[in-house]
Structure 1
Amino acid sequence: MQYHIKGMDCASCVGKIETALARLPGVSDIQLNYATEKLELTLAHDAKTQSHDIEKTIKRLGFDISDSTQSKSTTDMESDKPLEPEHWWQSRKGKQVIGLGLLMSAAYIIALIFPDFGMWAFAAAVIIGVFPFARKAVALAMTGTPFSIEMLMSVAAIGALIIGEAEEAAAVVFLFSVGELFESIAADRARAGIRALASLVPKTAILLDAQGKQQNVAAASLQVNDLVLVRPGDSVSADGVIIQGTSSLDDSPVTGESVPVSKTIGDDVFAGSINIDGVLQIRVEKTAADNTIARIINLVEQAQASKAPTARFIEKFSRYYTPTVMAIAALIIIVPPLAMGGEWATWLYRGLALLLIACPCALVLSTPAAIASGLAVGARRGLLIKGGSALETIGRVETVAFDKTGTLTQGEPRVTDVIAFTQEYSISQHEDFQGQDTHVQDAQGQNEILALFASVESGSSHPLAKAIVSHAEAANIVIPIASNASATAGKAVHATIAGRLLAIGSPVYAADEAVISAKQQTQIETLQNEGKTVSILFDEQSRTALGLVALRDELRDDAFEGVAQLKAMGVNAVMLTGDNRLTAQALASSLDIEWKAELLPEDKLRLLNEMKNNRKIAMVGDGINDAPALATADVGIAMGGGTDVAIETADIALLKSRVTDVAHLIALSRATMANIHQNVIFALGLKGIFLITTILGITGLWIAVMADAGATVLVTLNALRLLRFKGTNSRIKLSKVN
């Protein structure tokens, strides 16, 4: 049986539902994924449990459930999801937070105007606010989870209300509701990443019948061996193989390759790739449910399901804290009067004081207050951190894996070298330059060669062509007007300039069409060994090679500093890329880091899983192909200038796209965790002291109130210290985690 469950926001929700369902007779093989809100289970045919029992149990726990037994492909399921999910204030949790906020505001106003009725106003707010949590706590207790965080909060709020601290009880309920809402928002953002992935594959395709007639059909309807037409500018509608045509394809959504790849008959193509300059006929090899993008979606879902976020500290602690405190309070109220003849009123007073001291207000605040300050500091620097779990975990990572294209590099090719092979055309016919020194003539030759390159490429939309033209324009070089421009798809571009037939092609193509000397070949190979893409300009009539332009996606300006900061903090850096080995080796050598190249998304995923066996690891990327790796790493970090999919899938987004911000994140996390540890010591330390003094009768109810309030103030003030955190200039940046 398959269900869609709404309201699962974390691994804790999964545990509660699994515990409840496991108690139902005949239910087995329970599989839950909170990221995709899916539940699968097996129900025995002869079981007493019926489907309505399953639905009733889950609804009683506070979750919405709907039947989705009809099997659908991943792509179909994603298309069923609303393109515009509800805003947080439209959700049940959002309405609850808004309602509680209004109730507390009204209570404060009443308390100011009518002091005698203030307590009753806060009491009403507490009763209304705690009711849904108390009902859920009872349901959880009845289904096998008696000491849930809902139980802890409900007992604390009701206990504070009984003691007469209605205002504090209202604050506990409100803060807990806000925390639940933030958790829900973070989960919805993760799901938005999966929806964005599904949108990459075009919804329609051009199907060719046996007579070559074209028909627009839904891409999801394509079957294996169908023939489809892909025009220049179109996205490839299915995984397949080229049976006719040659073109350059932008495979960056799948492989991360920074430069479009020339493909021809017999080559594989991926769904979601962009066809640049040729008309292709493709035979479909995989259906929509099994294409490359669908596989990436599946990888993201699996990674999000297997990545259990660090359980909230209060959730763990409540397993022992709640029953222990309740048992101690009950014993203090009952045992002395029965066993030692004590006065019931005295020991009831002490038991209630103990409950007040045990009220976890300071403890509840200890973690979220520090996390809120840490998130605020990060936001000021342009770090979008999606929740406390990510902020906590990033400080413990030992290795940071970087994608190359758009992460360590600028994300687009740039001209690095311009070499004029001959001065026959450019220098000899300019008398003004005769007699000038060699350096001046070389510079003039390079400028004229660059002008010719830009002229021939001026009509092309290829990324390499755009880079060449932009480079010439930036150098204020006059670009001659070209005529008769044409292209040999995937191989070369041609144009006539001042009566000469010129062409630009790859070194392999140029070697077939022009004469390349040994010296020129050496220059070409040297540049290629540096990871650069080389284009050759040649005269088609005389078959003379005139010059070359080399391009490469260069490192970001702060890449060296960012990697150096990580090393200073004891964090290892490694580069994982789908780009070619020569480019990867050249750039990694400059940064002095480890590297792996020519990786598909599943390769990155495999390497990350291997590295995760014995250490915490973060992944930094910006492309669609990085989404599974971002999801499976302990912390996924996306560059803000990258794709929406990467940003949505990642736990953290670097909105200013700075490599140095990764080190800042780690430093901020370590400072935040140190603050949290201090807060917990403050909260538990004060409570421990006054628990003892209350039991001994040394301190009374008003001291208990002051102790709890004092712990809350200390925790809050200490958390606010984080707002002064200065980042990687701080002394804490070099501290290593043992």
Structure 2
Amino acid sequence: MEDKCCSSNEKELITVESNKGCCSSQSEKVEGSNVEKIDSCCSSTDESLNSTNIKKTGSVSSCCSSNDEDTNQSTSTEKSSCCSSKMEESPINHTTSTEGKKVEYRIHGMDCPSCALTIEKGLNGLHDIKEVKVNYNTAKLQVVGNDGLSFDQVENTVQKLGFTAEPLKQNKKVKTYSVEGMDCGSCAKSIENHLNTIPKVKNVNVNFSTGKMKVEHENSVDEIVSEVSKIGFKASVFENGSKPTETPKNKEGYGLIIFTGILIALGFIGSYNGISPILTTILYAVAIVISGFKPVKSAYYAIKSRSLDMNVLMSAAAIGAALIGEWFEGATVVWLFALGTALQNRSIEQTRKSIRNLMDLAPSEAWIKVGSELVKKQVEDVAVGETVVIKPGDRIPLDGEIIQGETSVNQAPITGESIPVDKLIGDSVYAGTINENGSIDIRVTKLVEDTTISKIIHLVEEAQEQKAPTQAFIDKFASIYTPIVFVLALVVIVLPPLLGFGTWGEWVYKGLALLVVACPCALVISTPVAIVSAIGNAAKNGVLIKGGTFLEKAGAINAIAFDKTGTLTEGKPKVFEINALTVSEEELISTALTLEDYSTHPIAKTIVGYAKDKGIQSKNGELFKSIVGKGVKATIDGEIHYAGNLKLFEDMHIPLGNVKTQVKEIQSQGKTVVIIGTQIEIMGVISVSDTIRTTTVKALNGLKQVGVNQVVMLTGDNEGTAKMISKEANVNRYFAELLPEDKVDAIKQLQNEGHKVAMVGDGINDAPALATANLGIAMGGAGTDTAMETADIILMADNLEKLPHTIKLSRKALAIIKQNIWFSLIVKFIALVLIFPGWLTLWLAVLSDTGAAIIVILNALRLLKVKG
């Protein structure tokens, strides 16, 4: 049985008994004849991925990939992680023999490979579908269908499954709008419902948190803007992905609020100074009409589109109050609602500025060198390969590589690093960063839509649009709570007076108060504003958090595991000491250079680099051979020479004398030893060490201060080196002599001990461990597209100094979300309790709702101020 399409470049593919994944590789041979069940997408670049020894594994529910020559999973019992190989990006099999309509989407919301399987199964059930492929690692969906296939149906099906599909090649009929005036999630829903009633509108997606709306429509932009204005909001279109304009201050709106406030005050004062009741009623009525026009108009369209938002509830309360003669109450209700809405909009706009500020970083024009002249071009018109000239003090307009000049660049907008970085010819620079000193020429390497800053903006927007588990729960709760309280309000208005418990006026008033309390605006707004604020703050500090889910997970982390090489250490070994025994130092280095020159091992490269820096020449060698796990050998001047570890020489029974003691002592200092010798003697010893990063100790101490009680190091090095580095770095514990699969076991061991574990690596080589951990954190995202694709959190700079800030920010966000939720619930509960004794007036009910909403927004805005 084969439930899914598997495509590969391998020479042989043996169908397994139940293959529910998509196995794609560049391997020569994939055998799965004894695998009972594979639930994953397996991708690799190995020469041979052999699974014939996987017996009774039950379920391999991960995405496995490696660069190993041979991956043997014979001991695997269950793998529930997603591993991604050292590749740029897995394509979604663009080459296919199936003819028909083809489209690709970016899928938002997948959190494990089984989500990809769910989407595939859901779409395969549609008519006119020929082929569906979902790649979890790159979050891409490819659909091939007959000419009758409706791609709207594809997007709607994906949405019903709980995910969002965004066409990668933007449909020309889909336009993005900025929407002003939304003060809670129910407003977004009302806009969606209203626009969906228009025949020429195919699809609508409104995001309250970011204030953005995507509409696929056949009618004009002006008609969409007009329809949105009918329900009380203001929409403006983004042309060709241009930067949004700053939201203008609504002075007219504040002027009307002040004017109606004066009318209500005059009416209130007049009622105590003998002024005619008719005149005071007129003042209140005018105030109701002016302040209530917009919410009543919005309420009309909300009801028409079967929505039950705050406008409906507030309008019903105000009109009801007027009908029972409570003109002051009605006027106060609409005035407080208008004032509260204006304050909410002003507050929430601060959270949306985080995106706008990022967009403003990169300049819109660039000076291009054409021959001997400089020509100014829009960045959208600049092609890859063109030369851009950047003067001192200017922002760099596009990603590129320096081909002339040298300077220092302030990379804080991208990486959060406060100290400028020196840049020479051949170094990469990023759009949005600032050229501090010299004039430089750069060769453009990426188009404007592919630059690092563009990807950051896209990721941040995508993250802010994702619903965290808490937010999803609150939205579901609100969708049940509001109609229940609405029905309860109707029961309160009708039933007690019918049964003879009090007058109609008394119970209608209580019912109206209950209507106002029915809107859970403060509760619904409590989570998304906090998440948007936290993600915006993190992005400003060079940290990309890819959604509210990961923000919440980061806040719960109490153990962090680090890969040693390249994470805790520089990842650039240096020759520490040369100890020549039977030959001169120069002779020893020359022999080592000859032996190691053909090796690709990092330590071999270090020795070769050291020798060449010293100007030492290699000897004439031949018959080079690598001895796996031990070293290398070659024939030099007719004699076989060796370079390798202690085990190599012990196995050959070469007399070591006191060299063994010397090697053990060097290893105990955390250094790696390379022994040079022949079959007769030991010529000398070269020790190599990898230095710890300058920021490591400070970062790890910072993590402990913010409450991470287990800081763990994972390394493939020997016990002595691991022990020494662990002391230097001040980690709690370490796991030494680990193979890549052993790192996964170490993560699982920590999880079994009850820890919520984050794994920090480079996003590529440590992929199995990153995926197994509760949270995957990649370093150096500014230089690696793969890290930006695969990790949950990305530290854009290649260091750890922002990690404590990330954990602190996440915990602060969790605390604020909890505060907001409890505050909103308590306020609602108190308001509900006060209704029945008659203590809750209508204006107090409004104040409890809009006031609470403003308080939770302001509380969430504190996250923008958390220092990095």
Q: CA deviation at 1:385?
A: 1.2
Equivalent position of 1:666 in the other structure: 807
1:489 aligns with 2:625: yes
2:515 to 355, 374, 378: 355
Pick closer, same or farther for the CA change 1:671–1:592 going to 2, 3 Å.
closer
Partner Cα distance (1:373, 1:36) in 2: 33
Partner Cα distance (1:546, 1:81) in 2: 64
- TM normalised by structure 1 equals 0.56
Cα deviation, 1:274-325, whole Å, max 9, x if unaligned, reads xxxxxxxxxxxxxxxxxxxxxxxxxxxxxxxxxx956645146447644652
Match of 1:702, SS state, is helix
Taking the TM superposition and a 5 Å limit, the aligned residue runs for 1:348-497 are 348-422=508-582, 425=584, 453=592, 462-471=601-610, 478-482=614-618, 484=620, 488-491=624-627, 492=632
Match of 2:561, SS state, is strand
Taking the TM superposition and a 5 Å limit, the aligned residue runs for 1:72-111 are 85=168, 97-98=212-213, 103=228, 104-105=233-234
Match of 1:489, SS state, is strand
Partner Cα distance (2:810, 2:573) in 1: 35
Asked if structure 1 preserves the Cα contact closer than 8 Å seen for 2:543 and 2:796, the reply is yes
Pick closer, same or farther for the CA change 1:124–1:597 going to 2, 3 Å.
farther
Pick closer, same or farther for the CA change 1:718–1:584 going to 2, 3 Å.
same
1:522 aligns with 2:682: no
Cα deviation, 1:689-725, whole Å, max 9, x if unaligned, reads 3334444444443333333222122112222222332
1:159 aligns with 2:313: yes
Equivalent position of 1:637 in the other structure: 777
Partner Cα distance (1:503, 1:687) in 2: 82
Taking the TM superposition and a 5 Å limit, the aligned residue runs for 1:557-596 are 557-568=694-705, 569=707, 571-577=709-715, 583-590=721-728, 591-596=730-735
Asked if structure 2 preserves the Cα contact closer than 8 Å seen for 1:6 and 1:37, the reply is no
Pick closer, same or farther for the CA change 1:337–1:706 going to 2, 3 Å.
same
Match of 1:658, SS state, is coil
Equivalent position of 2:796 in the other structure: 655
What amino acid is the match of 2:812?
A
What amino acid is the match of 2:626?
G
Structure having the larger proportion of residues in helix:
1
Pick closer, same or farther for the CA change 1:408–1:114 going to 2, 3 Å.
closer
Taking the TM superposition and a 5 Å limit, the aligned residue runs for 1:232-271 are none
Asked if structure 1 preserves the Cα contact closer than 8 Å seen for 2:563 and 2:713, the reply is yes
1:715 to 834, 849, 856: 856
Taking the TM superposition and a 5 Å limit, the aligned residue runs for 1:62-73 are none
Q: CA deviation at 1:95?
A: 7.1
What is the number of residues matched between the two proteins?
517
Partner Cα distance (2:298, 2:4) in 1: 35
Pick closer, same or farther for the CA change 1:326–1:7 going to 2, 3 Å.
farther
1:548 aligns with 2:708: no
Partner Cα distance (1:510, 1:606) in 2: 32
Asked if structure 2 preserves the Cα contact closer than 8 Å seen for 1:414 and 1:551, the reply is yes
What amino acid is the match of 2:213?
I
Q: CA deviation at 1:671?
A: 1.8
Q: CA deviation at 1:488?
A: 0.8
- TM normalised by structure 2 equals 0.48
Q: CA deviation at 1:652?
A: 1.3
Partner Cα distance (2:204, 2:642) in 1: 61
Pick closer, same or farther for the CA change 1:621–1:154 going to 2, 3 Å.
farther
What amino acid is the match of 1:636?
G
Partner Cα distance (1:639, 1:360) in 2: 40
Partner Cα distance (2:304, 2:130) in 1: 31
Match of 2:557, SS state, is coil
Pick closer, same or farther for the CA change 1:333–1:2 going to 2, 3 Å.
farther
What amino acid is the match of 1:159?
L
Pick closer, same or farther for the CA change 1:640–1:122 going to 2, 3 Å.
farther
Partner Cα distance (1:658, 1:609) in 2: 25
Q: Which moved more, 1:341-350 or 1:367-376?
A: 341-350
Q: Which runs of 5+ in 1 are unaligned?
A: 15-30, 42-50, 56-64, 135-152, 183-307, 427-444, 728-738
Equivalent position of 2:10 in the other structure: none
Partner Cα distance (1:686, 1:671) in 2: 22
What amino acid is the match of 1:425?
S
Match of 1:669, SS state, is helix
What amino acid is the match of 2:725?
L
User: Which one has more relative contact order, counting CA pairs under 8 Å at least 6 apart?
Assistant: 1
Q: Which moved more, 1:408-417 or 1:156-165?
A: 156-165
Equivalent position of 1:284 in the other structure: none
Cα deviation, 1:117-176, whole Å, max 9, x if unaligned, reads 9966666667778988x6xxxxxxxxxxxxxxxxxx845464345457797899999999
Q: Which runs of 5+ in 2 are unaligned?
A: 6-103, 145-165, 177-202, 216-223, 237-248, 257-288, 319-333, 355-467
Partner Cα distance (1:419, 1:638) in 2: 38
Q: CA deviation at 1:359?
A: 1.6
1:38 to 96, 119, 131: 119
Pick closer, same or farther for the CA change 1:398–1:386 going to 2, 3 Å.
same
Pick closer, same or farther for the CA change 1:680–1:544 going to 2, 3 Å.
same
Equivalent position of 2:865 in the other structure: 724
Pick closer, same or farther for the CA change 1:644–1:169 going to 2, 3 Å.
same
Asked if structure 2 preserves the Cα contact closer than 8 Å seen for 1:683 and 1:711, the reply is yes
Asked if structure 1 preserves the Cα contact closer than 8 Å seen for 2:761 and 2:779, the reply is yes
The alignment's C-alpha RMSD in Å is 5.4
Partner Cα distance (1:593, 1:676) in 2: 31
Equivalent position of 1:267 in the other structure: none
Equivalent position of 2:819 in the other structure: 678
Taking the TM superposition and a 5 Å limit, the aligned residue runs for 1:603-614 are 603-613=742-752, 614=754
Partner Cα distance (2:294, 2:479) in 1: 32
Equivalent position of 1:304 in the other structure: none
Q: CA deviation at 1:510?
A: 6.8
Q: CA deviation at 1:533?
A: 3.8
